[in-house]
Structure 1
Amino acid sequence: MSTLFTPLTLGSTTISNRLGMSALTRNRSTKTVPNDIMLKYYVQRATGGAGLIVSEGVLISRQGSEWPNAPGIWEKSQIDGWKKITDAVHEAGSKMYAQLWHCTTLSPFLTSAFFRSNRLFKVGRISHPDAPEQIAAGIPVYAPSAISARGGKFRFLPGAPGYVKPTEIEDPTILIAQFKEAAINAKAAGFDGVELHGANGYLVHQFLDSTSNQRTDKWGGSPENRARFALETLKVLIEVWGADVAIKLSPAGGYNDMGMPLEDTIETFGYLLRQVNKLGLAYVGFVRYLPYLDPEFDGKKRATPHNVLATFAPFLISPTAKTPIFANAGVTPPEAESLVASGTVAGVFNGLGWIAHPDLGKRVREGKELDNAPDFVRLYGAEGVDPALGYTDYKEAVY
């Protein structure tokens, strides 16, 4: 694993190795405020050899989520909570980006009995106005178009009601301003950069996809117009962070009832990436196709499977620029070494591996077995259960 454990400069930050920890929602905050159990969780992974940690999705506004235990970054108590974590991560020798997230959908995971039973619920395109955080926000659930996604039920609400159409936002720049404010707050919280969540059917992805964005103004229609929200958001993040801005994309993902025909997918994401390559981002993170994140509707898989890296990496290379690429989703350690050594990617992100192995980086470097299984039952915590279970209680290897 000699290549995987070489330093890499991303923007103004140099990370010690190419093995990153991807954003992983875990629902352990106190209401929406980061706390001590979260601090322990991140420090375990920083000490365990993560070159770059991307935080769990950090909500940019109360309106952006139903989950009361997903952390935000719109008020001082949240900023202070994150500052304790970033300081400790830095002391442990790692770097940390904040993933900025406007959670405007529910995650149905229709193909998995586990996910159907574990309240993996969010709001927006798959929405309901009675969700607790929506009531607290006191404003409508916004989306690019008034189209609800298919699948699932709101089991945390009486009667398990179905979806309600979101409100088409008249002026998307309102949401872009929220992302900029979150970026300012992330800097105050001591992060090393920010990653825009543009994947998995959330707000940015909804603007990109022609099945969820059917607007007829400058924010919809052509690939150029559908990419406008992502690009304008990246530009305001760059105003705050300069080169320390990244984006996560899932062109082959069917998660949250997303997915376009392949020709439209290539045209849309190809245009976006050509423009992104001009912006000088720290990296682009690509989520590869995973069957278990691809729900079925009417007996058909929702996504359009294809080789994401082979299809879209060329759009990030020009005579004057080459944006670093990180691969995500099901990347094994041997494959990670091969991808980095060949120059296909600059680095890799892993999710489940870091959940089950707080010392994943050390294990990979030392050739130790990955012998812990993720505790899916407690992946997102549960009422009245010790939050450490399935979170900070995984055993480390003997070195």
Structure 2
Amino acid sequence: MAVLFTPLTVGDISIANRIGMSAMTRNRADQTRVPNHHMKKYYLQRALGGAGLIVTEATLISSQTSQYDRAPGIWSMEQIVGWRKITNVVHLAGSKIYCQLWHVGRLTSGEPDGPEPGYGPSAIPARGRSRCFHFLPGMPDFGMPREIPDPSIVVTQFKDAARNAKLAGFDGVELHAAAGFLVHQFLDSTSNIRTDKWGGSSENRARFGLEVLKSLVEVFGPNVSLKISPGGGFNDMGMPLQETIDTFSYFIAEADKLKLSYITLFRYNPRLDPIIDGKRCGIPHDILSVYGKLITNAKTFIVGGVTPEEAERLVSTNQVDGVFFGTSWLTHPDLAKRIKFGKSINNMLAVPHLYGDVNMDPRVGYTDYPAVTY
């Protein structure tokens, strides 16, 4: 595993190892979406546990992008101050941290007393249920979105969020263009049927994501990254295979020209691709072999069910520069140290506590996972 513990330059910063902590929604912010002391402890634990690069849970860029009750935001000064406390302790622990910028687009629930209808590229609702884990019972269906009249306004919101992230002390920002959220919705022809410059051809559907990336680079320079999931499935995403390859190949190649710090390829996972109307939406294909060769300027990361053994093989054979782990970091605050010293990765996931709830102790299934003694 020694290759996983060699330093890596991403953008203009150096990270201590190739083991990153992926963004994962946890819903432990305050009711006003301000990061709190529970979140500070959570991120500090994992920085002390050896994460080379931490990417925050998806962070809302404006109050109009709400889906989850206590997901954090980064549009107010109170939120900036809350995040600053977190970036400070992460840096003191020796890790680096990016803020993942997020707009859910059309993915708001259809509850009568729920959030107002979302805005998407087109007025087409996502089929299925809200929330990330579709096997959890009781989640409402998605609502009917409104078409975004002028997508350039949302591009400006992303840029403002990046400015706030810089004030909050983040080392960089990651654009969430995966999992069926807004940028992904623009890319996919099943959710984007616009006839203006933001829809139609692959080039037009990629325009929104590329304009957002350009605006982020204006703020953070080389410390801007991108996360994509071409395999779809998640949140009712999926085009025919050739259209998928054509669209994402163009998007990745153009994004790579911006000299981003890294691009993360999120592998297809059937567990996150629910059966809707008798079939799955996703398009399983080898994400790394198809798109990895298009990334020549940015570093390449992969995420999605990667084991430590596979991570070692992928990095040592130069197929990727680094690997992000998700659930393993939730359940093991010392994951990198466990990998380094050959300790078991055996903490069980507390599924009922994946997402915060006002009626439960926020520490449970969040900051109470045990570490081992070294």
When normalised by structure 1's length, the TM-score is: 0.89
1:271-323 deviation per Cα after TM superposition (whole angstroms, max 9, x unaligned): 01111121000000111011101111222111010010001011123xxxx32
Instruction: State whether structure 2 residue 246 is matched by structure 1 residue 245.
Output: no
Deviations 1:144-202 (A, max 9, x none): 00000111379xxxx98754321111110010000000000000000000000000000
3-state SS, counterpart of residue 279 of structure 1? coil
Cα deviation for residue 86 of structure 1 reads 0.1
Of the structure 1 ranges 60-69 and 46-55, higher mean CA displacement relative to structure 2 is found in: 60-69
Q: Is the 8 A contact 1:258 1:303 kept in 2?
A: yes
The corresponding residue for 1:380 is 355
User: What secondary structure is seen at the aligned counterpart in 2 of 1:56?
Assistant: coil
Which position in structure 1 is the counterpart of 2:289? 310
Which amino acid letter does the alignment assign opposite residue 184 of structure 2?
H
Asked if 1:356 corresponds to 2:331, the answer is: yes
1:151 correspondence with 2:128: yes
- Does the CA-based 8 Å contact 1:248-1:287 persist in structure 2? yes
Taking structure 1 as reference, are residues 146 and 372 closer, same or farther at Cα in structure 2, changes over 3 Å only? same
**Equivalent position SS for 1:98:** strand
Corresponding residue number in structure 1 for 2:192: 213
Query: Which amino acid counterpart does residue 44 of structure 2 have in structure 1?
Result: V
Counterpart amino acid of 1:334? E
Identity of aligned residues (%): 57
Where do residues 169-184 of structure 1 align in structure 2 (5 Å cutoff)? 169-184=148-163
Task: Name structure 2 gaps, 5 residues minimum.
Answer: 132-137
Q: For residue 116 of structure 1, what is the aligned residue in structure 2?
A: none
Distance of aligned partners of 1:275 and 1:128 in 2 relative to their CA distance in 1, 3 Å threshold: farther
Question: Which of the residues 272, 284, 298 maps onto 1:293?
Answer: 272
Structure 1 outlier segments of 4+, above 6 Å: none
The one-letter code of the counterpart of 1:145 is: S
Q: Does 1:61 align with 2:78?
A: no
SS at match of 2:196: coil
Q: How far apart are 1:62 and its partner, in Å?
A: 0.8
Matched with 1:117 is none
Q: Counterpart in 1 of 2:322?
A: 347
Which ranges in structure 1 are unaligned for 5 or more consecutive residues? 107-122, 135-139
Q: Deviations over 1:53-99 (max 9, x none)?
A: 00000100011013231100000000000000000000000000000
Rate the CA distance shift 1:202–1:96 in 2: closer, same or farther, 3 A.
same
Give the deviation of 1:397 after TM superposition.
1.2
Establish whether residue 230 from structure 1 lines up as the match of residue 209 from structure 2.
yes
> SS of the residue aligned with 1:224?
helix
Alignment partner of 2:255 out of 263, 266, 276: 276
Name the structure 2 match of 1:114: none
Distance, in Å, in 2 between the alignment partners of 1:187 and 1:196 is 14
Give the alignment of 1:1-399 within 5 angstroms: 1-31=1-31, 32-106=33-107, 123=108, 127=110, 130-132=113-115, 134=116, 141-152=118-129, 162-317=141-296, 322-399=297-374
Q: Distance in 2 between the 1:383 and 1:81 partners?
A: 19
Q: CA deviation at 1:383?
A: 2.5
Q: Is the 8 A contact 2:110 2:140 kept in 1?
A: no
> RMSD between aligned alpha carbons?
1.6
Q: How has the CA–CA distance of structure 1 residues 129 and 272 changed in structure 2, closer, same or farther, with 3 Å as cutoff?
A: farther
Helix, strand or coil at the partner of 1:271:
helix
1:254 maps to a residue whose letter is G
- 2:268–2:285: 8 Å Cα contact kept in structure 1? yes
Report if the CA contact (8 A) 2:28-2:39 is conserved: yes
| Segment of structure 1 superposing worse, 373-382 or 281-290 | 373-382
Distance 2:323 2:298 in 1: 14
Cα contact 2:119–2:145 (8 A) shared by 1: yes
Q: Distance in 2 between matches of 1:182 and 1:161?
A: 29
Any idea what the Cα deviations from partners look like across 1:11-39, whole Å, max 9, x if unmatched?
Answer: 01100000000001000001100000000
* CA distance in structure 1 between the partners assigned to 2:264 and 2:98 by the alignment: 13
Output one character per residue of 1:86-140: Cα deviation in whole Å (capped at 9) or x when no partner.
Answer: 000000000000000012244xxxxxxxxxxxxxxxx1xx6567424x3xxxxx6
CA distance, structure 2, for counterparts of residue 305 and residue 279 of structure 1: 28
Change (3 A) 1:216 1:105: closer
Aligned residues: 367
How many angstroms apart in 2 are the aligned matches of 1:281 and 1:80?
Answer: 27
1:258 is paired with a residue whose SS is: coil
Query: What is the CA–CA distance in structure 2 between the aligned matches of 1:130 and 1:218, rounded to whole Å?
Result: 35
8 A Cα contact 1:253 1:293, kept in partner: no
Amino acid at match of 1:142: Y
Give the deviation of 1:398 after TM superposition: 2.1
Cα 1:314–1:77 shift into 2, 3 Å = same
